[in-house]
Chains A and B, each alone.
Chain A
């Protein structure tokens, strides 16, 4: 099974407002998108477990025109506050790169 970084040309994460983080995964080509967009490790149950949030709140979108999978999950704590480590959520995607699909 390939790692996410082997089938995606670009992966990013960012805040979507103070209470959510959103992940955008650009697959390298249509074949990769078709084969891996629906992989279980990208689904709400797996994403919820990885980021420690309720899977029923995780949103998943497949966008074939862009060869993009978009995943949004609520932050465990709102942006800012005493224990913030990543104010923009801009580095959270890195922990997905070695994930097997």
Chain B
């Protein structure tokens, strides 16, 4: 296949995540020849807080900046714009947040696109019923599907495949804003609906999911994928950027536990036999990707709040302490826990005190080699976790004099370690946890998806 074959389906992928920074010039100069613009706006990678609260990771201004460029490009070229996993988590609240930004942009620029909204948030009760009916399977390392697990989530989302996007486009949508979707599906949707090969479409979607991460300049905007029957190409949008066989092939490693098999709704992408070939010095051509159909499943993500945390930080340069750090920290842990138990008793409830010595072993938590030289300075972080914010703060305040003034050895003059803040304690807020690593078996790809259409012609004047 030549690099610019006329019988490919071409998707402009402007960025790895909406809100990370779309380049207007790159998008508009690549518009000609694109059949769709598609990108992703979400991830679990920054932790459970975004799903548990429904709030987005990126700022509203950053998302509006990117979405404005893409909506104006959509209007200019008259091609569909698809955005998956809106508002980071892709739950209903996050999708509505993105919808409101889109309406504001439409109003400000006099645009009148027909917008489809794909909701894929699920109620805990409904998923608990699915679990009872044996329709939910755990994924390793999790090994149970207890119904209570689903009820305990604040938000649950089911990851959509490409079908709801195709259905919305067939129903006349210009822009599709999706709830949680697999990164690959939102990019593969238009190639699949226009008859490109399934193996090529899914593989192209995987390679382009993080925009220019599959290029030699990972922070340089996006890429264009051109998908045929049995092959595809990937090319950077930036004129001075390059895709190489190494950068494209290596992307199969990225945030993927298996570099050959990728489980998607409705099948498995198998790239074991894929071949990567350079076309000139900017484009890579890929063949041999296979998509094997399987019974349709949707991955579930769920999160909820648990305890609350209050933290304190202290800097230590005392050489005697640093020469005996492990003994000092173990001693402090005992002293602080005893102090809380004695002072607060039952009122402290189930609590945890975690001491993390930055500059020593905070990142791994592993024992440092006994022969290691002492550090020059450490930052010692105190983290109290308790059932309410008020109790976590009371625990921190109870520990305050010991955390800041504990001598290495009994009988020494009281030291003062270097604490930077007054008041010393910082209320960090709630702790969130991921609770689900499951798939739900569905009758068809639309069973758990709710589609709504928005006529901006009316909405912007409302």
Contacts and interface: CB of A to CB of B under 8 A. Distances in A.
Chain B associates with chain A? yes
Interface of A: 14-20, 22, 24, 53-54, 57, 59, 61, 63, 65-66, 68, 70, 72, 74-75, 78-88, 91-92, 94-95
Given A65-B249, A95-B366, A80 B49 contact: yes
A81 B307 CA distance: 9
A68 B253 contact: yes
Given A82-B306, A83-B352, A95-B366, A59 B433 contact: no
Given A18-B48, A85-B363, A86-B363, A78 B356 contact: no
A20 B263 CA distance: 15
Interface stretch (B172-180, B196-204, B254-262): B254-262
A79 B142 CA distance: 13
B259 A63 contact: yes
Given A16-B257, A66-B249, A85 B142 contact: no
Given A81-B306, A82-B307, A95-B366, A59 B258 contact: yes
Given A79-B434, A82-B306, A82-B385, A14 B363 contact: no
A18 B44 contact: yes
Chain A interface helix/strand/loop/mixed: loop
Contact of B362 (A72, A78, A81, A85): A85
A15 B43 CA distance: 11
B123 interface: no
B140 interface: yes
Contacts of A81: 48, 306, 431-434
B55 to A, nearest CB: 15
B354 A18 contact: no
Contacts of A66: 246, 249-250, 253
Contacts, number: 104
B413 interface: no
A18 B253 contact: no
A15 B364 contact: no
B250 A80 contact: no
Contacts of B46: 87-88
Contacts of B306: 81-82
A15 B260 contact: no
Interface in B381-427: 383, 385
A14 B253 CA distance: 10
B265 to A, nearest CB: 15
Contacts of B366: 95
Given A15-B45, A85-B364, 20 more contacts: A15-B255, A18-B301, A57-B141, A66-B250, A66-B253, A74-B140, A78-B434, A78-B437, A79-B434, A80-B432, A81-B431, A81-B433, A82-B306, A82-B354, A82-B385, A82-B431, A85-B362, A85-B365, A86-B363, A94-B363
Interface string B27-49: 00000000000000000111111
A17 B366 CA distance: 23
B364 A92 contact: yes
A79 B44 contact: yes
Contacts of A91: 363-364
Nearest to A19: B437
A57 B437 contact: no
Contacts of A87: 46-47
A75 to B, nearest CB: 8
B309 A82 contact: yes
Contacts of B362: 85
Contacts of B257: 16-17, 20, 22, 59, 72
A37 to B, nearest CB: 14
Contact of B141 (A70, A74, A94): A74
